Chains A and B, each alone.
Chain A
Amino acid sequence: MKHETKKISRIVDELTTLFLKQDTDEVDFKIKREPHQTTIKMIDYRTHFDDEYIDELRQQLSIVRQWEIEEYYWQLTGETDCDDELTLIGAMVDKAIVEKKDGNLYIELIRLHH
């Protein structure tokens, strides 16, 4: 797949911008690439996001994978800090787990290779 590394970097960039700008001062992330998929794990420490926002975040990241949206718009991911591109990230990943535990926000995104 073309620009695969850059697409993964931009997904992380977008979420890092969102968390640092709107929520917290401490963010961790881990990326694992395997032959059939890439997994991105992020921890947003001491989150201030309320349950309603987290639920909305979960819904936006969990929309179905949309290849045509990804091919056209992937370069917008992480491009600006005046707005978020959560729908776009949702269109670029196959599975999203979003949960709040012990005051931290945990996000796991799985992007299957095809």
Chain B
Amino acid sequence: MIITHNIQEKEVKKERILFILSVFPITFLIFALLMIKGQDGEPISLLKGLWKIISSPTILITDFLEVGGIAASFVNSALIGFLNLFLLKYYKMRINGLLIAAFMTVLGFSFFGKNIFNILPIYIGGYLYCYYQKVSMKEIILIIMFSTSMAPIVSEISFTTIFPKPYGLLIGILVGVLIGFIIVPLSSHMLRFHDGFNLYNIGFTSGIVGTVFTSILRSFKIDIKSVDILYLNKDISIVGLLAVMFVYLMLVGFFINKDVFKDYKKILKYKGRTVTDFTAQLGYGVTFFNMGFMGLLSLVYITAVNGTVNGPVLAGIFTVVGFSAFGKHPKNCFPIVFGVVLAGMLMHYDLSSTGLIISVLFSTTIAPIAGTYGIGVGVLAGMLHLALVTQIGYIHGGINLYNNGFAGGLVAGFLIPIIDAFKKGEM
């Protein structure tokens, strides 16, 4: 037994944590095998679906469930999941809350935007950065995992007519390598803009990088436009799968910490601002329980508004679940979500639309604002977030998958200094 901040739980070795996480890609593979069937009754082979996903430009919003089918999408996610777990094991990483968040985020975005082809150049760029700076890949693997948010630019250049074949493919890969090379110093520097109040910091960084790249391309009259390819069928089997996975996480939490129900309330006192690693503060039991619980809450919300669980929504759910190991809990997320929903109603958005649902899910990137400054500021931040996130996609042309992270950084960077300026009674 070990004791973490007055919480007793079973000792969990990193191999065990990797196994707990590996259940996700394993389950995805099994689910994919069960789902090998075509849309509208027409059989589509798994490999054909995978090729469609790999050769798609993947710009925002490209839903892989629509592009390659359910089975191929889950296989793509599983492959990316296994690759990242292998890297975590290979580099002997201690699995902390942030690495869990990174793994879940990458897993989720493998349903819309990231595929086994377009993420690899970014990893190679990261490796070259390590070689150039004489640092270990172990130090930057986390940043590289998150920075695959820029993967669509690889696919966009490789598989559209921006450059003639086969130069497009080569240039696309080189741009991906370049992004992997420059993203490490940029991501660290950008934190200072929002002081850690935006959990998806790489989303903010990628927004800046994406804006620069897109502006350069547009200067040469090459325009990058967002698309809207969405899977709109309501598939109860996906909802069921997610529910089972989240209950599994809660049970894992209970297995590690038998007092998890008693200890869980301790998580609610945390503001959630970066760096709030729940695995270090409260142990793995409470952390996994919180992840599962937040996943179930996300599913309940989507079901309540009659939404569709498609690729972007899966990404949103898994990102919420992942960051529930690193800052998010019901108390600091609720005001933000309430603010987004309220603004959505005032702006006459359809609450069941994929656009609004993913805004609600991803808006929790600024949960630390509510955790630090309270419900009122949290609701205001949520409303502001929706106003920004619906307008800024054009700036980077949709090549930054973490568009909400970009918007969240702007909201936090705008609000925090103002709030601080009006705070009274402090030296």
List residues of chain A with CB under 8 Å of any chain B CB.
1-2, 21, 56, 59-60, 63-64, 66-76, 79-83, 85, 87-88, 90-91
Contact = CB atoms under 8 A, between A and B. Distances in A.
Interface stretch (B44-52, B93-101, B210-218, B292-300): B93-101
Interface stretch (B155-163, B273-281, B390-398): B273-281
A80 B139 contact: no
Contacts of B96: 66, 69
Contact of A63 (B133, B136, B280): B280
16 contacts: A1-B135, A60-B280, A64-B94, A66-B94, A67-B139, A68-B98, A68-B143, A69-B96, A71-B142, A72-B187, A73-B188, A79-B191, A79-B195, A80-B195, A81-B426, A90-B280
Contacts of B143: 68, 71-72
Contacts of A82: 372, 420
A55 B48 CA distance: 58
Nearest to A67: B139
B196 A69 contact: no
A46 B420 CA distance: 29
Contacts of B188: 71-75
Contact of B133 (A2, A80, A90): A2
B142 A72 contact: yes
B192 interface: yes
- Say what secondary structure dominates the interface of chain A: helix
Given A63-B280, A72-B188, A80-B195, A87 B141 contact: no
Of listed B5, B138, B188, B427, residue having the most chain A CB within 10 A: B188
B121 to A, nearest CB: 21
Nearest to B271: A83
Given A72-B98, A75-B191, 11 more contacts: A59-B4, A67-B139, A68-B98, A68-B140, A69-B275, A70-B139, A73-B191, A73-B196, A73-B275, A75-B188, A91-B275
Interface of B: 4-5, 93-94, 96, 98-99, 133, 135-136, 138-143, 184, 187-189, 191-192, 195-196, 271, 273-277, 280-281, 372, 420, 426-427
Nearest to A21: B427
A2 B189 CA distance: 14
A90 to B, nearest CB: 8
A76 B372 CA distance: 16
Nearest to B145: A68
A95 B196 CA distance: 25
Contacts of B427: 21
Given A73-B188, A75-B189, A87-B275, A56 B420 contact: no
A75 B192 contact: yes
A68 B138 contact: yes
Contacts of B139: 67-68, 70-71
A64 B140 CA distance: 17
